Chain A
Amino acid sequence: MTSTDLPPYARAMGMAIVGTDNGSPVIAMDFAPRAMGRPGFLHGGAIGGVLEMAGFAALAAELERQGNPARIKPINISTEYLRSGLPETIYARGEVVRAGRRVANVRIEAWQADRDRPVASCWMNFQLKTP
């Protein structure tokens, strides 16, 4: 994916890029039953999906700025669920901590109505493959 083009899974889940914050795209996903886990709350996997998409987008934007054509593959993700996800729009934004030659490390946070009360945060490691 590029920093402006979301893959089929993200579009099917209703995710969209709604802006850019300090160089990183902000991903939003409106609430719908397809994202619900236990009754009345967002599914942890749907939250993970939004976090990952924000991580990809942040890294893609950083590589585009660097003029780096590398393809990116996720190596792993570790998510902390901080609050229950409410049935409303969720946002996520990633911060590239380091983009090296082979690996990039990204931190991502998701929030809902109040940005100062994050719903989940995670780190992701990516493999960079130069074509």
Chain B
Amino acid sequence: MDSSDVNDRRLERLAMAETFDPRLWAQHMTSSAHGGFIGMRYRDHGDIWIELEFDWRADLVGDPETGVLASGPIISLLDNATSMSVWTRLGKFRPQVTLDLRIDYTRAASPGKPIVARAECYQLRRSMAFVRGIAHDGDISDPVAHAAGIFLAVDGPEWIK
């Protein structure tokens, strides 16, 4: 059995759990695959919100002249954080896919600083969840990006191949 099988089984266990543990889920989601590549980490969570972060890294840069991060990793962080905010609010995992995600880049991220995303599920319905999030590099009142999106609930078999 290779490590990806072990990861898949751990994910299955987390998905079947009666309650949603944001810290455990984030540890899993960020230990391999794309979250692992970006270096995402769990930071904090509340009733309907969660915070994830990742460190600045040279190979995540979008503009080599300035050292400013590419926006791709920021999309990934906001996608994961907004997605997890739904399960945080629900208190349970529910399979879902991203229907749409809009991101406004409000300023360039400062080179060298970690990026924090704080995301919340502001409306939860049976078939979909409405989310928003802010990415910043130390001061949430001076954000680098703002996100709004919708997740669509799907059947379990559609979710995991």
Please give the residue numbers on chain A whose beta carbons come within 8 Å of chain B beta carbons, in ascending order: 1, 7-13, 33-41, 43-46, 48-49, 52-53, 73-81, 84
Nearest residue, chain A, Cβ from B33: A36
Nearest A residue to B59 via CB reads A12
> With A9-B62, A34-B33, A75-B104 given, is the CB distance from A52 to B75 under 8 Å?
yes
Closest to B74 in A: A45
Q: Do the beta carbons of A52 and B72 come within 8 Å of each other?
A: yes
Q: What's the interface size class on B, roughly?
A: 35 or more
12 A–B contact pairs at CB < 8 A? Answer: A7-B61, A9-B59, A11-B59, A12-B59, A33-B37, A38-B160, A45-B38, A52-B75, A78-B102, A79-B75, A80-B99, A81-B100
Bound complex: CA A21 to CA B54 (Å): 35
- Chain B residues at the A interface, C-beta cutoff of 8 Å: 4, 7-8, 11, 32-38, 58-64, 69-73, 75-80, 97-105, 108, 158-161
Chain B residues whose CB sits within 8 angstroms of the CB of A46 once the complex forms: 34, 72, 76
- Chain A hits for B73, CB < 8 A: 9, 45, 49
* Contact residue among B7, B37, B70, B79 (Cβ-Cβ distance under 8 Å from A7): B70
Q: Which residues of A lie under 8 Å from residue B11 when comparing CB positions?
A: 39
Cα separation A84 to B34 with both chains bound (whole Å): 15
Which residues of chain A are near B72, meaning CB under 8 Å?
9-10, 13, 45-46, 48-49, 52-53
Q: Which residue of A lies closest to B108 (CB)?
A: A73
Inter-subunit contact B70/A84 (CB<8 Å) = no
Q: Which residues of A contact B62 (CB under 8 A)?
A: 1, 7-9
On whether the beta carbons of A34 and B34 are closer than 8 Å, the reply is yes
Assembly CA distance A75 to B78 (angstroms): 16
The answer to whether B108 touches A76, judged by C-beta atoms less than 8 angstroms apart, is no
- B4, B70, B99, B102: the one contacting A77 at CB < 8 Å is B102
CA distance A17 to B7 in the complex (A): 33
Q: A35-B34, A49-B76, A80-B99 are in contact. List 13 more A-B contacts (CB 8 A).
A: A7-B70, A9-B61, A39-B8, A40-B160, A44-B75, A44-B101, A46-B76, A49-B70, A77-B75, A79-B75, A79-B98, A79-B102, A81-B97
